[in-house]
Chains A and B, each alone.
Chain A
Amino acid sequence: MLNISPISPRAGYSLVEVLVAMTIGFVLFAWMSDYMMRALADHTLTLQRNHLNQELLAIFGVMDRDVRRAGFWENAKSSLKKGPVNPFHSAPYRLTTNNKIGEAANSCLTYSYDLNRNGVLDTGTTGTGDERFGFRLNRGVVEMRMGGSGTFDCNSGSWSGLNSSTVIMDSLNFSISGSLCLNMSKSGADCTASPLVSGDVLIRAFQVVVNLNGHLKFPTTIQHSATLTVQVPNMSVESVP
């Protein structure tokens, strides 16, 4: 004999009730999932943008601190009263823009300063280090010159990458066109105002404007551009030969 336990009408839901509840549940779940996915995507995007932004800022931090040192010479006081010329402000060691072969123009900056404060421009050949520095763009990587006893240009020497492998730098541009050159023998007139004459004393105050543009390796749509302006405190003083 079939013995069916009596079921209270309050103990369960009807099929319609369950279906309605499930439908509402699925709709809510779908909406919440979508919301969550969007929130996660937004978070991810923010994190990725921050990451890229942070990479650029970190590179600028290194550049700003180092480029300001350009032209420092421990024996600077000896150049007073027509003494010796500051070697760190002499060609080819002075602030110069150029590029590595295959890269865009002005994507490389070279300069020098007296890092070990021995008063001599060390070129890595005497075991006292190399005091020639630079930044360049090389196949999507911003690099800093770390040494190398060979020719001092944007193609030689030992360079080390500054940005992580998750970031690709699209462009790097250095401009020193905002720098000042004053002819002190012509009452401080601009150097281009009149032809230079042998013996003219020129003062150059350097300003470097850096433009950097990069994107994430994935997703590639996340890009960022930044500009840095560096006023170089160490002016150069030179006499026209």
Chain B
Amino acid sequence: MSNRTVHNHKKGMVMLGTALVMLLLITLGAIFTAQVVLRQQRAVNNDYQAIRAAEAAQAGLEWGMAQLSQTTFIQTNLVDVSPQDGWVDSKTWQAPVGLLPVEVGFQVEFANLVVNDFTLWRVSSVGCADGCSPCNASCPIHRRVEQQLQQAGMALFPHALRASLTAKNQVSLTLNAKVTNLYTNQANSDLTVWAGKTVSYSNGAGTVSSLGTQNTASSDPTTKQNDTTLATATADVFFKLFFSNTQAEIKKMIPNIACGVNCNAQLNGVVGKALWVTTNVVLSGINTIGSPSQPVIIITTNDCQISENTIFYGVLYCMNLIGTGTATKVSTVYGGVIVQNNVTVSKVPDVVYDPGVMNQLVRQFGSGTGAGDGRIPGSWRNF
């Protein structure tokens, strides 16, 4: 007897198997595709982040170069104050808040290329694009660029003087000669007289400051004497406390003139100039040298002798300052005097610190004359 039974559950096996195989194939294909796409997306994202980092680094470089065009930035942050070893101390800046999107940033660093030369700069910038903060070379995705710069304008007088009268050695004032600084309560001009050796006032001579009139050097807070920083400095180190380069280099940078018996003819009426005088600077007539809006810088490594009615606006640099006047005649320097050796003043000249003159001098001859534009050709690198 045959017993035929129809098995219903086998009827869909082929379809089910086919569907499962297709599902498997589709799943494998989807996984493979997803992996490939993911890999490509990662590669593209890495490229994108690297490009953003490079652009951020370049933005930092441009920002840094723009800062070098600002006198106050250089004076406040870059000119080495302590230790005065001739090098800009390592200091870094992050991107100002709001300048870039939050996930990118830069770090900028400044350095001078040559010791004691603040006319040549190196600006380095690291850019980051992965939200790494603070941005620096240890961030996973970063790029670095660097540019060297030369100050486009004449860099001569980078910052205002600290004192009305500065002398590397001794200062001796007598017969009512006055050194005035009414701005000694400000951080950058806190002194009237600054000397490497002794300072003496006699016969009514002394200083005038926000504290009043002082006639005794040892008790005058605005008189700083016996400062070994000045006394032990070489001529060039002393010179570069005030100017941007050595005497030899500055002498090459600015016009040189020579005077005869005196400098009345050569200097009377001169405004807005920096001059190197190769002889003694003798001012014995009625002279007006410089003006409040166009002060001058007169440098000589010989002596300055001032005796008559001379009004001087600017900075005077001498080997020795010898002042002799009478009771009726007055000479005044508005700005500052720097003396490489000794000061011996009897009656004249008075020296009056003038911040307006100082600011004008820095504008005319300082470092803020477009350093950011003076890119040295061939000095950009990204490695």
Pick from B4, B40, B383: contact of A69, CB below 8 A. B383
Q: Give the distance in Å from the alpha carbon of A54 to the alpha carbon of B42 in the complex.
A: 12
B-contact bits for A197-241, CB 8 A (1 contact / 0 none): 000000100000000000000000000000000000111110000
B187 contacts chain A at the CB level, 8 A cutoff: no
Residues of B within 8 A of A13 (CB): 11
Residues of B within 8 A of A80 (CB): 150, 376
B-contact bits for A64-101, CB 8 A (1 contact / 0 none): 01001101110011011000001011000000000000
- B379 x A5 contact (CB < 8 A): no
A120 contacts chain B at the CB level, 8 A cutoff: no
Q: Give the distance in Å from the alpha carbon of A1 to the alpha carbon of B3 in the complex.
A: 11
Q: Give the distance in Å from the alpha carbon of A13 to the alpha carbon of B6 in the complex.
A: 11
B1 contacts chain A at the CB level, 8 A cutoff: yes
**Which residue of chain B has the shortest Cβ distance to A18 in the bound complex?**
B11
Q: Give the distance in Å from the alpha carbon of A69 to the alpha carbon of B36 in the complex.
A: 34
Q: Give the distance in Å from the alpha carbon of A235 to the alpha carbon of B11 in the complex.
A: 81
Residues of B within 8 A of A43 (CB): 29, 33
B242 contacts chain A at the CB level, 8 A cutoff: no
B-contact bits for A35-76, CB 8 A (1 contact / 0 none): 010001001000100110010011001000100110111001
- B4 x A233 contact (CB < 8 A): no
Q: Give the distance in Å from the alpha carbon of A228 to the alpha carbon of B20 in the complex.
A: 49
- A77 x B148 contact (CB < 8 A): yes
B15 contacts chain A at the CB level, 8 A cutoff: yes
- B382 x A69 contact (CB < 8 A): yes
Pick from A1, A11, A32, A36: contact of B1, CB below 8 A. A1
- A54 x B6 contact (CB < 8 A): no
B141 contacts chain A at the CB level, 8 A cutoff: no
- A73 x B47 contact (CB < 8 A): no
A3 contacts chain B at the CB level, 8 A cutoff: yes
- B33 x A77 contact (CB < 8 A): no
- A54 x B378 contact (CB < 8 A): no
Residues of B within 8 A of A7 (CB): 6
- B377 x A2 contact (CB < 8 A): no
- A12 x B8 contact (CB < 8 A): yes
A115 contacts chain B at the CB level, 8 A cutoff: yes
- A76 x B148 contact (CB < 8 A): yes
- B8 x A236 contact (CB < 8 A): no
Residues of B within 8 A of A2 (CB): 1-2
- A86 x B6 contact (CB < 8 A): no
Residues of B within 8 A of A79 (CB): 376-378
Residues of A within 8 A of B114 (CB): 77
Pick from A3, A71, A77, A113: contact of B150, CB below 8 A. A77
A-contact bits for B98-126, CB 8 A (1 contact / 0 none): 00000000000000011000001000000
- A3 x B3 contact (CB < 8 A): yes
B286 contacts chain A at the CB level, 8 A cutoff: no
Q: Give the distance in Å from the alpha carbon of A43 to the alpha carbon of B2 in the complex.
A: 56
Q: A227 to nearest B CB, angstroms? A: 16
B-contact bits for A166-195, CB 8 A (1 contact / 0 none): 000000000000000000000000000000
Interface residues of A in 127-165 (CB under 8 A from B): none
Residues of A within 8 A of B376 (CB): 76-77, 79-80
Dominant secondary structure of chain B at its interface with chain A: mixed
- A11 x B148 contact (CB < 8 A): no
Residues of B within 8 A of A4 (CB): 4
Q: Give the distance in Å from the alpha carbon of A73 to the alpha carbon of B5 in the complex.
A: 94
B26 contacts chain A at the CB level, 8 A cutoff: yes
A124 contacts chain B at the CB level, 8 A cutoff: no
Residues of A within 8 A of B26 (CB): 36
Pick from A1, A50, A51, A235: contact of B377, CB below 8 A. A235
A29 contacts chain B at the CB level, 8 A cutoff: yes
- B44 x A233 contact (CB < 8 A): no
Q: Give the distance in Å from the alpha carbon of A2 to the alpha carbon of B2 in the complex.
A: 6
Pick from A3, A12, A29, A36: contact of B6, CB below 8 A. A12
**Most chain B CB neighbours (cut-off 10 Å) among A68, A80, A113, A233:** A233
- A40 x B29 contact (CB < 8 A): yes
B66 contacts chain A at the CB level, 8 A cutoff: no
**Which residue of chain B has the shortest Cβ distance to A3 in the bound complex?**
B1
- A69 x B47 contact (CB < 8 A): no
Q: Give the distance in Å from the alpha carbon of A86 to the alpha carbon of B40 in the complex.
A: 41
- A86 x B43 contact (CB < 8 A): no
Q: Give the distance in Å from the alpha carbon of A72 to the alpha carbon of B37 in the complex.
A: 39
B91 contacts chain A at the CB level, 8 A cutoff: no
- B382 x A50 contact (CB < 8 A): no
Interface residues of B in 3-29 (CB under 8 A from A): 3-6, 8, 11, 15, 18, 22, 26, 29
Question: Given known contacts A43-B33, A54-B40, A69-B381, what 4 new A-B pairs fall within 8 Å (CB)?
Answer: A71-B377, A72-B379, A76-B148, A76-B377
Give residues in A with beta carbon < 8 Å to B. Answer: 1-5, 7, 11-13, 18, 25, 29, 32, 36, 40, 43, 47, 50-51, 54, 57-58, 61, 65, 68-69, 71-73, 76-77, 79-80, 86, 88-89, 113, 115, 203, 233-237
| 30 A-B contact pairs sorted by A residue (CB < 8 Å) | A1-B1, A2-B1, A3-B3, A5-B5, A12-B8, A12-B11, A29-B18, A47-B36, A47-B37, A54-B43, A57-B44, A57-B47, A61-B47, A65-B382, A69-B382, A71-B377, A72-B379, A73-B378, A73-B379, A76-B379, A77-B114, A79-B376, A79-B378, A86-B377, A86-B378, A89-B378, A234-B378, A234-B379, A234-B380, A236-B378
Give residues in B with beta carbon < 8 Å to A. Answer: 1-6, 8, 11, 15, 18, 22, 26, 29, 33, 36-37, 40, 43-44, 47, 50, 54, 113-114, 120, 147-148, 150, 376-383
Smallest CB-CB A-B distances: 3 pairs: A76-B378, A233-B380, A76-B379
